[in-house]
Amino acid sequence: MKNIFSWAALLVAVPALAQNPALTAQVDGQLPPLVRIYKKIHAAPELSHHEENTSALLAGELRSSGYTVWDHVGKYPNGRWPGYGVVAVLKNGKGPTVLVRADMDALPVEEQTGLPYASHVRAADDSGTEVPVMHACGHDIHVTVLIGTARMLAALKNRWRGTLVLVGQPSEEKGDGARALLADGLYTRFPKPDLAVALHDFGELEAGTVGYTSGYMLAGVTSVDVTIRGRGGHGAYPQSTKDPIVMAAEFILALQTIVSREITPTDPAVVTVGSIHGGTKYNIIPDEVKLQLTIRTYKPEVRRHILDSLRRIADGVASMGGVPKDRAPLVVVNESEAGLPVYNDPALTDRVAATLRRTLGTANVIPLERVMGGEDFGAYGLEGHQIPTVFFRLGAIDAGRIAQSRASGEPLPSLHSSLFMPDPEPTIRTGVTAMTSVVLDLMKP
């Protein structure tokens, strides 16, 4: 049946909701068990593609709150990983369909926080290598907030109408989790949303606050593997070789002109070489050098231009080095680690920001600049942004630590740091209050 609730109609202004002390009290009543859940997840993190226990915990909590739950959603087409996505649905009469997403995976980082519930987990990654594992990006916070929001909305069914879809997403850090869910029928097997919402904790905002950005918020990510091929030989006789290390150096320097001289200055873009490997010994010129690049852009045409320039520069460097055509460089886009930009629909963002200001107070809702970090939440809007989405930041850091950082000039540990340490109680309280209020407003009868 065609969904009759257009997103534009949902964005019509509604009367302001008074700040609700009862809502705050209900969230506070849920806080102790939620903090216990958070610490349990934090102490037992799981890598991307391996979120078996985290997804089982989430599915169990959502079932106990009255949702119809499906697990093992998002099986990968290659069959290598089973897929640990969780989808929970709660229908509550006629109204819009709203999707709320939380990601579940952790990172190969060795925790150094010294917390009593710190992770000491070591696990095999996709290659079979044993690595330390830590929730260094706050996905444990996100799962906990989703559980708390699910409980609140199940208890407040008299205040909203429509269909609520909650998604526990695997493998955000690898950039392929959202695509795996969509490929497994997220929008066909389950109710297709009119709107999609998510939050992410932030290591530069005080716990108790949230931040938002209208329009482009995070960049699209493109991962590229480049192989510069030459002809190896003895380091004492370079004249008989085609040195790929020299050509790789020329290639890296030439890349710096793409953004500075080929891209319009008003279109943000980043080209970074994150890895370069070549050679085995002091006196051996290798046959090839391998590089890994990350490209960050907002606009698809800028992405295409950069990829075309990468290929042109690689071929040009090889040509100048006298490399035969059958040894031309290889430039390969790694589609498994690529993602769309996160675009916050301006009208939806305005409405969500207004709700957050009413709920948390104007001083606690902070407009933020867009950045070039990446997140695969952009996939939920689909190509062309047919589904309006909004993604907002959740402050996670103790106010005293922020003040100390400002006074000393020592930066706070960032996301992905072994020292990243959210302040659980105020962060979870604010996250549940904020997300519950946003959904209540979007699904207001």
Name the segment(s) of the chain with CATH classification 3.30.70.360.
Answer: 220-338
Nearest C-alpha neighbor of 165 from the set 146, 178, 180, 179 = 146
Nearest C-alpha neighbor of 164 from the set 151, 180, 178, 179 = 151
pLDDT band with cut points at 50, 70 and 90 for residue 439: very high
Name the segment(s) of the chain with CATH classification 3.40.630.10.
Answer: 7-217+341-442
Could you read off the pLDDT of 203-217 as tens digits, one per residue?
999 999 999 999 999
Q: Are 58 and 149 in contact (CB under 8 A)?
A: no
**CATH number belonging to domain 7-217+341-442:** 3.40.630.10
Could you read off the pLDDT of 102-117 as tens digits, one per residue?
999 999 999 999 999 9
Place of tokens 């006789």: 237
pLDDT band with cut points at 50, 70 and 90 for residue 338: confident
Q: What is the pLDDT of residue 11?
A: 55
Q: Which fold has domain 220-338?
A: Alpha-Beta Plaits (3.30.70)
Distance between CA atoms of residues 220 and 96, nearest Å: 28
Q: Is the pLDDT of residue 127 over 60?
A: yes
Task: Indicate the angle between helix axes 21-43 and 424-442, nearest 10 degrees.
Answer: 120
The predicted model scores a pTM of: 0.92
For residues 269-286, give the mean pLDDT: 97
Q: What is the pLDDT of residue 14?
A: 41
Q: What is the pLDDT of residue 4?
A: 47
